[in-house]
Amino acid sequence: MSEFYDEMEDMVQEVLDVSELGQDGIILIVKVKTPAANSWDKPTTVPASYPLRGAAKRVNQRYENGALIVATGDLVTFAPPEIEPKVEHFISINGNERAITSLKRIPSAGTVVAWQAFCEL
């Protein structure tokens, strides 16, 4: 069964390649906090960037857990990056940084072949 998911992952990588259907300019941004030397100093935040192979689409409504959610934002579908994305990360689309409000792995069980993130404007 894992052979099937490996083939699916390869197919997603191929389809979302920039030379095919994927869009350029989509980046996953992870902000890493490092504690300061003294407890009264602010911790420093350093962003790390991971280019994504995927596509973004503007939507006005979406279904989540069977409920219709009316909200304008970007639905980003992308191949698995080097690190596992989390809701506390950000996605930059053409230089505009957006917070991830919903994140789904595809499929929900087994080997991940793609991710889908909703980013509100």
Q: In the chain, what are the domains?
A: 2-120 (2.40.10)
- Determine contact, residues 39/77, Cβ cutoff 8 Å: no
Q: Which of 53, 52, 51 is nearest to 22 (CA)?
A: 53
**pLDDT score for 14:** 73
pLDDT of residue 84: 94
Residue recorded with tokens 């030379």 = 19
Do 26 and 54 form a contact (C-beta atoms < 8 A)?
yes
Both tokens assigned to 9: 């992952």
* pTM recorded for the entire structure: 0.76
What pLDDT is attached to residue 6?
80
Across the chain, which has 121 residues, the per-10-residue mean pLDDT values are 77 64 79 88 91 89 84 91 94 93 91 91 83
DSSP string, the chain: -HHHHHHHHHHHHHHTSTTTT-BS-EEEEEEEEE--SSTTSPPEEEEEEEE--EEEEEEEEEEETTEEEEEEEEEEEE---SS---TTSEEEETTEEEEEEEEEEESSSSS--EEEEEEE-
Q: Output the pLDDT for position 17.
A: 62
